[in-house]
Amino acid sequence: MSAFDPEDSIYAHARYFCHLAGEVKRLIDDNKVIGGHLTLTLMAWDMGLEAVEAAGGMPIIYLDSYPFLVRGLFAKYTADAGASSTTAPRRLPSRSPRRPGWRRGGGPRRRPHRAGRRGSARRSSRSLFPSRNSFYTYAGLTEEMKKFPAFAGTGDETTRKRELAAFLATVDHESGGLVHIEEINRSAWGDYCDTSQPYGCAAGQTYHGRGPIQLSWNTNYKAAGDALGIDLLNEPDLVKTDSSVAWRTALWFWMTQTGAGTMTAHAATTGDAGFGETIRTVNGAVECGGRASERVQNRIARYKRVAAVLGVQPEEEGKLTC
């Protein structure tokens, strides 16, 4: 094997990355770090394994960190895998495997203070969702985000942060601060079964709101299940019993469904429409057009609060409402 041979070099890099993935998995299993497996492996590639352990992983999402820059770099190519493209991706600074604890340039990397960085991240998490149900984990969210690389990975840093803020504000509103796993007052709404659909509804099942975005109606459970390869029409409770399914359906709806609007929430936040259109997509038939202005203002307030925590300026006021 020669360090000057491109194929040998790629092979060596791949072996090192797989080694890091195994070591990161061990840290996760030992509850020494918090975060998604791929995210923390990329973090270890960038910083070194010791630094990842010292930082306690990544308890909340840092969109300007190396793992999420990599996600954003390839988001378009994964989302448009079937389309040909002649545009090269934006290059990141070149990186190579390096000894854990050492920075590029040869000098030792200063070991982050465990209580400082990890404690700060957790304080930010608690400030967003102080009463969060343990069913909803940040590691679970980041792990499912890998399946939707364009989410919070499209556009410049401001756009990416605004989309993440909009999504977190939406699930904050829908789930009561990531507290409720299923709809509280579902008895007032019936079984959410659209009987006009050819597939109908499974016997004994209801399709009330479940999960962080409160997925509702048999039509959405059927569409989500078909897209994700899960039989949610017959087993809708998977959205309230399996955290990964809960986050995945929320991201699926955000990225692919137009709801009561004319565009997906992803398109609204990465285009020129703004946060107000995400409200229309998620629950516009009930809230928009002056039908429930108090709820709309509540969503806007949550969005502004999350945006402040993430360090991004919201859009102008005219784009926040519906």
151-197 pLDDT, tens digit per residue, is 999 999 999 999 999 999 999 999 999 999 999 887 777 899 999 99
pLDDT over 90 at 28, yes or no: no
In angstroms, the CA 263 to CA 287 distance is 17
State the catalytic residue, choosing from 53, 143, 163, 174: 174
β-partners of residue 215 are: 210
305-315 pLDDT, tens digit per residue, is 999 999 999 99
Could you tell me the domains of the chain?
Answer: 1-62+113-128 (no CATH), 160-319 (1.10.530.10)
Q: Quote the mean pLDDT of the chain.
A: 81
Determine whether 169 is exposed, middle or buried from the number of CB atoms within 10 Å of its CB (0-12, 13-18, 19+): buried
pLDDT over 70, % of the chain: 75
Is 174 among the residues known to form the active site?
yes
DSSP per-residue string spanning 85-153: --PPPPPPPP-----TTB-TTSSBPPPPPHHHHHHHHHHHHHHH-TT--TTS-HHHHHHHHTT-TTTT-
- Of 64, 10, 53, the closest CA to residue 40 belongs to 53
Distance, C-alpha 19 to centroid of its chain: 26
Cα Rg of the chain (Å, integer):
21
Q: What is the pTM of this model?
A: 0.71
